[in-house]
């Protein structure tokens, strides 16, 4: 974000040529691939329901699930669980999906995972949890997560995990089934769950760091770790206290990886928290924005929803401008980790192009004030949902066919040629970044 831009611009101009001397244009400063992945504008999509499953996105993995059949735990306790899950993991996202995403100009993916998906690298993550004794069901997930990061790297895509995104924490951090179980949440009332989640995140960061270093060349495309998805704390002080201790523990393992934190839709308060926090690398607020889940949203016409993004004096643009400025001073940023074109039918009039206007208004706002965005979600089992499926949204002309920088040509298979082409595109991206 701002601190990096300032540093790069200073390095370009700290040794200007003497007056009257004609010089070649300055070369771009040396900057690592990992820094570019982490600090560039993230234009991304969520690979929803790949590892943490949601039945409204795909219900095929639930056909043998135990009642009530709404969560990963319900599937794991049903018949044929391992076979069902591994078949889904291997077929929900395949090579052609990575190619499609990359061809749209998307440069990052957010991959929601649960703590139980780490048992293949450390079975102790299941100890004392609802998933204890289910390591045989989930042990194959970690290898596939590693492979996903490697494949993303081949396509020049950054990966946010945890975004990776820790969508499901021990004890469950909110009441939703996408937090792993169909049980009530106990994360904020159970000290063991909070402490164990910190241990799980430490395992995640160490394992990702070790895996990246083990590759030739080392992987550089991990853009961040998200500590918790949509936490619903008993109080802000309880969550912020946990954030503070967990950030400290993770920084002892990797002082450089950006950490993403959910802000409970209290963006100003958590921007203040980031400003007060001490961190060796960026803290990024993850804000989720939807306009279809409340009675007020559902009774508001799409034109008013759109205006709430395009009018500079409206609440949301004002909030983003204020928070972005504050976080920029602190060396952090705000990312829209989830958003969509989904609206309640009561908001739509049937006028041609109204949903596309709504999507483009959001994109313009996020491009202006945010460090990045991730559309929810990449696809659904059932075709035709232009509000929630990026594949269908692009096909229906609602979401732009391309965003950001455009990739030229096909994926290059030759390793040397691919690295040469990557370096050319890195210089182009850096040049555009410095001009902002």
Kindly report, residue by residue over 20-30, the tens digit of the pLDDT.
434 344 445 57
State yes or no: pLDDT of 133 exceeds 90: yes
Contact (Cβ atoms closer than 8 angstroms) between residue 54 and residue 178: yes
Q: What is the pLDDT of residue 430?
A: 57
Decide if pLDDT at 101 tops 50. Answer: yes
Which residues in 372-395 are b (16+ Cβ under 10 Å) and which e? bbbbbbbbbeeeebbbbbbbbbbe
Q: Which residues are CB-contacts of 325 (< 8 A; sequence separation ≥ 6)?
A: none
pLDDT grade for 426, boundaries at 50, 70 and 90 = low
Span 387-391, average pLDDT? 98
According to DSSP, residue 120 is labeled: T
Q: What is the pLDDT of residues 32-68, one digit of tens each?
A: 999 999 999 999 999 999 999 999 999 999 999 999 9
Find the range with the poorest average confidence among 7-16, 224-233, 253-262, 264-273.
7-16
Task: Give the N- to C-terminal CA distance of the chain in Å, as an integer.
Answer: 11
Neighbouring CB atoms inside 10 A of 24's CB total: 6
Question: For 210-224, 337-351, 417-431, which range has the lowest pLDDT when averaged over its residues?
Answer: 417-431
Q: Residue written as tokens 């204890």?
A: 132
What percentage of residues in the chain have a pLDDT greater than 90?
75
| Residue 403 DSSP one-character state | -
The single-letter DSSP state of residue 312 is: T
For residues 293-303, give the mean pLDDT. Answer: 95
Average pLDDT over residues 226-239: 91
% of the chain with per-residue pLDDT over 70: 81
The CB-based long-range contact list for 230-234 (8 Å cut-off, 24+ gap) reads 230/173, 230/174, 230/176, 230/262, 230/264, 230/288, 231/173, 231/174, 231/187, 231/262, 231/264, 232/173, 232/174, 232/175, 232/185, 232/188, 232/264, 233/188, 233/264, 234/188, 234/189
Query: Please, which pLDDT band fits residue 178 given cuts at 50, 70 and 90?
Result: very low
Lowest-pLDDT range, 189-193, 399-403, 418-422?
A: 418-422
259, 213, 269: which is closest to 236 by C-alpha? 269
Nearest CA to 109 among 91, 96, 97?
97
377: preceding bond cis by omega (within 30 degrees): yes
Q: What are phi and psi of 283, to 5 degrees?
A: -105, 130
Kindly indicate the confidence band of residue 247, based on its pLDDT and cuts at 50, 70 and 90: very high
The pTM score is 0.87
Per-residue model confidence as pLDDT tens digits over 354-376 = 999 999 999 999 999 999 999 99
- Whose tokens are 């979600």? That residue is 377
The answer to whether 42 and 159 are in contact (CB under 8 A) is no
Mean pLDDT, residues 408-433 taken together: 60
Mean pLDDT score of the chain: 87
Where are the alpha helices (H) located in 215-266, listed in sequence order?
A: 236-251
Q: What is the mean pLDDT of residues 4-13?
A: 47
DSSP-assigned states of every residue in 16-68: PPPTT---PPPPPPP--HHHHHHHS-EEEEE-TTSSS--TTT--GGGTTPPTT
Report d(CA 56, CA 71) in Å as an integer.
11
Q: Where are the beta strands (DSSP E) in 162-314?
A: 165-168, 222-226, 259-262, 283-289
Give me the mean pLDDT over the 284-300 stretch.
Answer: 95
């Amino acid at each position: 974000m701002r601190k990096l831009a300032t540093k790069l611009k200073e390095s370009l101009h700290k040794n200007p040529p003497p007056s009257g001397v004609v010089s070649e244009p300055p070369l771009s400063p040396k900057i690592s691939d990992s820094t570019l992945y982490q600090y560039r504008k993230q234009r991304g999509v969520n690979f929803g329901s790949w590892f943490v499953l949601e039945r409204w996105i795909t219900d095929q993995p639930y056909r043998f699930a135990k009642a009530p059949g709404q969560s990963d735990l319900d599937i794991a306790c049903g018949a044929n669980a391992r076979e069902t899950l591994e078949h889904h993991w291997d077929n929900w996202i395949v090579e052609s999906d990575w190619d499609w995403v990359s061809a749209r100009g998307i440069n990052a993916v957010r991959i929601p995972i649960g703590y139980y998906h780490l048992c293949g690298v450390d079975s102790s993550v299941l100890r004392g949890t609802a998933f204890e004794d289910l390591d045989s069901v989930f042990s194959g997930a970690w290898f596939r997560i590693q492979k996903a990061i490697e494949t993303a790297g081949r396509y020049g895509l950054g990966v946010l995990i945890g975004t990776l995104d820790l969508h499901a924490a021990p004890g469950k951090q909110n009441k939703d089934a996408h937090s792993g179980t169909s049980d009530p949440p106990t994360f904020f009332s159970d000290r063991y769950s909070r402490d164990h989640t910190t241990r799980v995140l430490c395992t995640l960061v160490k394992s990702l760091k070790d895996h990246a270093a083990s590759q030739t060349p080392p992987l550089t495309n991990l853009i961040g770790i998200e500590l918790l998805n949509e936490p619903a704390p008993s109080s802000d002080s309880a969550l912020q206290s946990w954030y503070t201790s967990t950030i400290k523990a993770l920084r002892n393992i990797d002082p450089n990886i950006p950490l993403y934190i959910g802000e409970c839709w209290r963006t100003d308060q958590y921007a203040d928290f980031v400003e007060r926090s001490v961190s060796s690398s960026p803290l990024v607020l993850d804000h989720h924005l939807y306009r279809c889940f409340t009675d007020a949203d559902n009774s508001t016409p799409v034109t008013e929803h759109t205006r709430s993004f395009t009018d500079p004096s409206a609440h949301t643009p004002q909030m983003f401008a204020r928070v972005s400025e504050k976080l920029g001073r602190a060396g952090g940023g705000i990312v829209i980790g989830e958003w969509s074109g989904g609206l309640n039918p009561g908001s739509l009039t049937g006028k041609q192009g109204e949903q596309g206007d709504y999507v483009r208004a959001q994109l313009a706002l996020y491009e202006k004030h945010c460090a990045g965005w991730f559309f929810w979600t990449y696809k659904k089992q059932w075709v035709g949902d232009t509000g929630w499926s990026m594949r269908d949204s692009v096909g229906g002309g609602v979401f732009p066919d391309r965003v950001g920088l455009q990739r030229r040509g096909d994926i290059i298979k030759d390793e040397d040629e691919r690295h040469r082409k990557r370096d050319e595109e890195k210089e182009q991206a850096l040049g555009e970044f410095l001009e902002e």
